[in-house]
Amino acid sequence: MDLPGRHDAPIETPVEMIPEWDGSIAYLDRDGVLNVGRSDYVKSVDEVVMLPGAGNSIASLRKAGYRIVIVTNQSPVNRGMFSHQQLRDMNQAVLDGLLKENRNAIVDLVLYSPYAPWENSPVRKPGPGMLQAGRQLLSGLPLEITHDSAELSVRFDEGRSFMAGDRNADIGAAKSHGVRAFRVDPSLGIVGIIDRLLDDDDLGDAVEI
């Protein structure tokens, strides 16, 4: 079974449970949502440039009761362009950048897919595997990865959960996992749609891709 990578911990390490959490998760892409993306990939800490307002947006989502899970495709790892450790340093730079803007911009999980497109892994968006893993870890469920979340042996009510990203793969992952999808303008990042994300009545963007 393909599994995603996890920032600073083995994938199956238990996550702190929060009392009275309603189960809502904000699944967020990284590049183009929290930090500036690049057509040739963000390849080093020096290339991590935060998008203004990202930290404040994360803090607002947490205040609204969401837990935060970053789910990012990082095929350069398996392509040999950079290592898991180098990716760890880049992810940490993003987390530090969020907290620098707002100390309440706490991220619960950072999951990444090292798989290349031709590996056909359900863990690579538009597959739902990273979203499945995020849900299962935050809910204390055993890890089970499938190509379609409807096929999981244990399904959890996703409630207000959503996926936000700037690419078709993010919209596809939302569709495969059964949550609302929000398309992000990469020149603005998450701050450009934060009012929509905080509106429980917003059904998100079309998932036809």
The pLDDT assigned to 156 comes to: 87
> Could you tell me the domains of the chain?
5-197 (3.40.50.1000)
d(CA 209, CA 206): 8
Residue 25's contacts (CB-CB under 8 Å, 6 or more residues apart) are 66, 67, 68, 69, 134, 135, 138, 158, 161, 179
The Cα 84–Cα 147 span in angstroms is 24
Of residues 2, 8, 22, 31, which has the active-site annotation?
31
Active site residue 40: no
- Each residue's pLDDT tens digit, 56-67: 999 999 999 999
Decide if 31 is catalytic: yes
Q: Stretch 72-79: mean pLDDT, rounded?
A: 95
Q: What is the pLDDT of residue 82?
A: 94
Instruction: Give the pLDDT confidence score for residue 47 in this predicted structure.
Output: 98
Catalytic-role residue among 2, 8, 29, 201: 29
C-alpha to C-alpha distance for 32 and 184, rounded to whole angstroms: 8
